[in-house]
Structure 1
Amino acid sequence: MTGTLNCVVVAVDGSDESMNALKWAIDNVTLRSAEDGGSFVVLHVQSPPSIAVGINPGSIPFGGPSLEVPAFAAAVAAHQKRITDAIIKHALEITTQNNVDVKTHIVVGDPKDKICEVVDEMHADLLVMGNRAFGPIKRMFLGSVSKYCSNHASCPVVIVKDPAEEHLPADAGAQIFTTWTENWMKFVKKW
């Protein structure tokens, strides 16, 4: 049986959640045959080296010389390539085990923006991605790539949640803060 979808993009970042999303897509999405143009695309967005390191070397304030360390930048880029290669290798092992042919696509940039750009450029019929189980505080600072993509992608988005994921109560942030405060106070009293 063939489906009506030509292009399904599955975003992977190496997390268990993204690999579960890939498995879900393989098990649940039916594409047109490869001869008719159907394809699964495994997409990985690699962070730019300056974001990965958490620094952005540039000129020293007040007209100082430019601070660029080519060897450092090359080492960071090589490390990111090894990580990307490992992520793609893991994804390809999953697809090979399930006898599914996929294309891989790697881009560099902010995951939220790049995923939406690639989906638009490929005229994808569906985007599948995992949902990282960030708590309310972490989500507040980091945001949610899956939520952003569900609001900005030019195609339908399926967000695959981990069935074993524990759902936090609505007041989980307050509970975490209270517990942290209590533990901090105990520590201060002992010290």
Structure 2
Amino acid sequence: MAGDRRIGVALDFSKSSKLALQWSIDNLADKALIPLTELRLPEVVRQYDVELDAEVLDLLDTASRQKQVAIVMKIYWGDAREKLCLAVDDQRLNSLVMGSRGLSPLKRILLGSVTSYVVSHAVCPITVIKDQDFKH
């Protein structure tokens, strides 16, 4: 049932992750995402020592109102590859949407790709949104 889907969006506030968030809202939000009002509370922001992105919060607020979805944010610390796969399990996600920076082949070999790792190891379907403006 569509209303029971749990969709995750990997968000590090980079341009490609914001594109993934926007794509998810436009294409997947149908009362299926799960409220994030606590993240606007100053004590919560201090507790997690995160710097909020006003553009992302506005996007989430608008989506919450217009699409009538509830949005939850979960913060994980550590290696993004491992933490994203852990989040899929912890949050029992039906799918995960991620942005891709489009690393050059050399950088991908040297640094590894978070997206490639998650696509290979996560136990749910992964949708990758590429930044069309990225030039190698």
TM-score range, shorter chain: 0.7 to 0.9
2:52 aligned partner, one-letter code? A
Q: Normalising by structure 2, report the TM-score.
A: 0.77
- Tell me the CA shift for residue 12 of structure 1: 0.7
- Tell me the CA shift for residue 122 of structure 1: 1.2
Counterpart of 2:121?
152
- Distance (whole Å) between structure 2 residues aligned to residue 160 and residue 12 of structure 1: 12
- Structure with more of its chain in strand, by fraction: 1
Counterpart of 1:103?
72
Counterpart of 1:123?
92
| Paired residue secondary structure (1:12) | coil
* Deviation digits for residues 45-87 of structure 1 (CA, Å, limit 9, x no counterpart): xxxxxxxxxxxxxxxxxxxxxxxxxxxxxxxxx8x82xx3324
Counterpart of 2:11?
12
| Paired residue secondary structure (2:2) | coil
Larger radius of gyration: 1
* Deviation digits for residues 117-150 of structure 1 (CA, Å, limit 9, x no counterpart): 1111111001000001211222111110011000
1:110 aligned partner, one-letter code? D
Aligned-residue Cα RMSD (Å) equals 2.5
Contact 2:19 2:129 in 1 (8 A): yes
Structure with the larger RCO, 1 or 2 (CA within 8 Å, 6+ apart):
2
Contact 2:98 2:129 in 1 (8 A): yes
Cα 1:40–1:139 change in 2 (3 A) is: farther
Correspondence 1:39 to 2:33 = yes
The alignment-based identity, stated in percent, is 32
Across the two proteins, how many residue pairs are aligned to each other? 122
Cα 1:12–1:157 change in 2 (3 A) is: same
- Distance (whole Å) between structure 1 residues aligned to residue 126 and residue 90 of structure 2: 16
Structure 2, unmatched stretches of 5+, are 37-45
Correspondence 1:135 to 2:104 = yes
